[in-house]
Structure 1
Amino acid sequence: MKVEFTRTGPYAGVLSVEVEAERFDRALDEAFRRVIRHVEVPGFRRGKVPRFIFEARYGVESLYEEALNVLLPEAYRAAVEEAGIVPIEEPEIDVESLGKGQPLRFKATVTVEPEAEVGDYRSIALVKPVVSVDEEEVERELAAMRERVAVLRPLEGEEAVVQEGDEVDLAYRVFLREGEGEDAPERELEDAKRDEVTVEVVPERLLPGFAEGLVGMRVGETKDIFLTLPQDYHDASLSGKPVRLSVHVKAVRRKEYPPLDDEFAREVSDFDTLEELKADIRAKLEARVREAKDREVRDALVEKLVDITEVELPESLIRREAEAIVEELDNVLRSMGMDLARYLEAVNKDREAVIREHWEEARRRVVGRLALLAVARKEGIEVDEGRWREKLAELAQVYRTTPEELERVLRREGAYEALRRSVLFDQVVDRLLSYVTWVEEAPAPSEGGEAASAEGAGSAEESSGDAERE
């Protein structure tokens, strides 16, 4: 197949394609197999008409339209991939010539990503990332490990008094109050009554004031706890209303934690000593911080690149990216048990308003990609096939398939080029990082001194249950 792309404007061009005669003839064969199922010719059963009789009766030209339906989409996708362009709208296709035993020639007028002009990307300055983990972070990880192996011990007798962090079995009744005073009229909320419920006495997990009211209660004790339901309470008819909870404590259990010693280290890990365990925790935390800092630096580098890039963007390209951002938002909301429709209703906005809110973010995303492509062209960077294969193998493992099958799916779904680009962009950022001028991180603000703002730092760089919360 012969492919030639000619740019005719900032974001327009013509793709000239010639498809081999053999491929067009195979498309004619497929077109005949499709068409003949619906054709009736006297003396033949439907679908059994010989090809030469069909062509004699209707002409081979009657198959051309179906052959184009078979071949054009596939040929267009392959031509786009070969030309290395990314159309952002459906093309206008003009078939110039076709015929049995002849090549198919067509032109596609396409709207494509514009080419960006990038400034002096070799003079970008960034704050040098500092990777550090303090002792408190290590201790928090150890505390989380202790939490996982803690044992709940039932409390009895004099020690059976509720403390924060305990697990408590209780029963309660809820009364809606018509005022704040103790003698205010009230009515019981029958649906809120519980005869057996277990709660963990952690303030942020319970209704405001409920955990505090439980602290100090003894097993067998009944107590009134007066609360005001929060404004975001799950039952809107009760939001902000005062209530009385008549609470009876049935049992209390308290977590017992193992001591932080070598035996603990052996229990929760493959290490023999607590010091070895702490060293491993620190190393893993540092690796996590290093990875996060690396992402931050790479993002900051692209942001700097955007600031020194000039490009004329079609509105359709920005809109498509803004809509993609809104789709991402919808996915996040769904993972939280919500969706975009309910979100829009809650914030009293329509989809278009949210798209417009993300317009500038979308614009910068698009400019960032175009800037990276421009640098790739200037630096002569192409996709490293080794890294590409590593990426395919990594994703194939995630999706439990083979790299070869994944590549076929990517091509079929039109996602092949986007993934190839992601690998290319990583390579471009690696190259840009080799040019970066690193500056030391601004010191923390001191008393009486003026804190260095992010903006100031940037300028310096350039110059250098019902009772439970539901």
Structure 2
Amino acid sequence: MSIKVTQEKLPASRVGLQIEVSGEQSRQVYERTLTRLSREVRFPGFRPGKVPRPVLIQRLGETALKANAIEDLVQQSLESAIAQESIPAIGNYQLSSDFETLVAAFQPGESFSFEASVDVQPTATLAQYTGLTVEVAEVPFDANRVDNVLAEQQKQMATLVPVEGRNAAIGDVAVIDFQGILVESGEEIPGGSGTDFQIEVEEDRFIPGFISGIVGMAIEETRTVDATFPETYAQEEVAGKAAQFTITLKELKTRDLPELDDAFAQEASQYETIEELKTALTERFQTEHESEVKASKRDAILTALADQLDVEIPESLLQREISAMINETASRLSGQGMDVRKLFTEEVLERLRENSKDEAEQRLRRTIALGELAKVTETQVDDEAVKARAAELLSNYPRPQEIDRDRLNTVVREELLEDKLLEWFEANNSVTFVAPKAAETEVDAASATVETTATETAEEAPEAPKAKKGKKKA
């Protein structure tokens, strides 16, 4: 289909199109539409495809026939225009002309004009990609991590022993009866009572004021304890409200911790000696730390590159990225046993899309910036390197026959290309580690990611954690 096309560059990587179709082409499309409808529409007394034209026009109406023809004509004309003008289109087109006006003006056999717009691949440039100074927040290595893990394992494997001759203290395990009311109304708190409830006497357990009220209690003692629910408490009806709990301490226990010896290592892990276990934990945490350092450096470099990027991201590309993020989150939550079909209601999806815009845009800016860096530096990945890395990954997978090789090769190529580009950037710019700023270590309560928005919706009010006895292999 040969058509006349006039282009206009629009904001946000869109191209406006004014398209004119000849009278002969408008007639041909109209005729084809009538033929198609005569096959699709069922009228009593007529076989499919044998409905006479006058009957078809009378039954459907001339306006409906024209509307169908225009839909076909617009779709075919746009596809032809995009191919004819080599327009790098992405996403669906948007009709700029009023459809009802087009229907009223359409006459088969006469020239037909309309306006539409389409998103195109964004044109991007990097203002600077050498001589930059990038500061990377240091990721400190926790030298006490092995000791902390072993101490937690000791705690899990401990034997609970009844306490005699003293009152409750931090570190104990208490068995209590409790009942709570809201101070303002005197009403019982939903879920705010329990019998023979086992709780660890540790700070940050339950709500502020509850644990401190237990400390110092004697067995069989009953106390009235003041506590306040946090403003961010999951149950909105009690969030931020003052409460009173009547607590009776029924039992008090302490933990008899096992010795950190070879017997402990054999019970807690697959290692024969405590030294082997410590060595394995140290190596694991060091590897994890190296990965965290690499991720921190990658994040800083990609942020610096994105800051140098001049690009207008089209809406269709942004929405596609948001959908990908939501699908990733749905996959993770499904893997955790959540029913995402119930979780992702229309309301939740709307919130997810709104909350994801900034992160999606930043992800796109980073991807586009890396692509531009690859162009200007002419960086490529050797096919043999892709083949070798893919083979290595397949060798570690128990069922390699289930892997989509083309997809695997694509992912491997992207990862290897990113590694090469990050190495190039580090060699041609100043990348230094600095102590993290205080602001970077605080949680930004205003920020909302896809996963937190989704999981917050699924969560119910948290219960007071119970002390548990058992072993978990390190």
Name 1:277's counterpart in structure 2.
277
Which digits, 9 at most, give the CA deviation of each residue in 1:298-331, with x for residues without a partner?
Answer: 22112221233333x1674686489669969997
**Within 1, Cα distance between the matches of 2:463 and 2:424?**
57
2:229–2:243 contact (8 Å) kept in structure 1: no
Write out aligned runs for 1:5-404 (5 A).
9=9, 11=13, 36=39, 38-39=41-42, 85=88, 87-90=90-93, 110-127=118-135, 133-151=141-159, 153-155=160-162, 157-158=164-165, 161-174=167-180, 189=188, 192-219=192-219, 221-230=220-229, 232=231, 234=235, 236=237, 239-241=240-242, 243=244, 245-311=245-311, 313=312, 316=315, 320=319, 364-381=362-379, 386=386, 390=390, 402-404=402-404
SS at match of 1:283: helix
Count, aligned residues = 379
**Within 1, Cα distance between the matches of 2:352 and 2:142?**
44
Which digits, 9 at most, give the CA deviation of each residue in 1:447-468, with x for residues without a partner?
Answer: xxxx9999xxxxxxxxxx9994
SS at match of 2:147: helix
Which digits, 9 at most, give the CA deviation of each residue in 1:319-349, with x for residues without a partner?
Answer: 64896699699979999x89896899xxxxx
**Within 2, Cα distance between the matches of 1:422 and 1:279?**
32
CA separation of 1:252/1:384 partners in 2, compared to 1, >3 Å: closer, same or farther?
Answer: farther
- Seq. identity, %: 18
**Within 1, Cα distance between the matches of 2:438 and 2:217?**
50
**Within 2, Cα distance between the matches of 1:282 and 1:84?**
56
CA separation of 1:398/1:171 partners in 2, compared to 1, >3 Å: closer, same or farther?
Answer: farther
2:136–2:432 contact (8 Å) kept in structure 1: yes
**Within 2, Cα distance between the matches of 1:400 and 1:37?**
47
User: RMSD of the TM alignment (CA)?
Assistant: 6.2
1:382–1:424 contact (8 Å) kept in structure 2: no
Name 2:421's counterpart in structure 1.
431
**Within 2, Cα distance between the matches of 1:91 and 1:33?**
25
**Within 2, Cα distance between the matches of 1:278 and 1:296?**
27
Which digits, 9 at most, give the CA deviation of each residue in 1:54-107, with x for residues without a partner?
Answer: 99x99xxx9xx89x98xx89x97xx99xx89561553679xxxxxxxxxxxxxx
SS at match of 1:254: strand
Deviation at 1:162, TM superposition (A): 2.7
Higher relative contact order (CA 8 A, sep 6+): 2
The two structures have a TM-score, normalised by structure 2, of 0.57
**Within 2, Cα distance between the matches of 1:453 and 1:197?**
39
SS at match of 1:295: helix
Write the letter of the residue equivalent to 2:123.
E
Deviation at 1:169, TM superposition (A): 1.9
Gaps of 5+ in 2: 1-5, 18-33, 57-64, 97-115, 441-460, 466-474
Deviation at 1:155, TM superposition (A): 0.4
1:122–1:436 contact (8 Å) kept in structure 2: no
CA separation of 1:34/1:389 partners in 2, compared to 1, >3 Å: closer, same or farther?
Answer: farther
Gaps of 5+ in 1: 1-5, 16-30, 94-107, 179-185, 345-349, 408-415, 446-450, 455-464
SS at match of 2:165: helix
Deviation at 1:279, TM superposition (A): 1.7
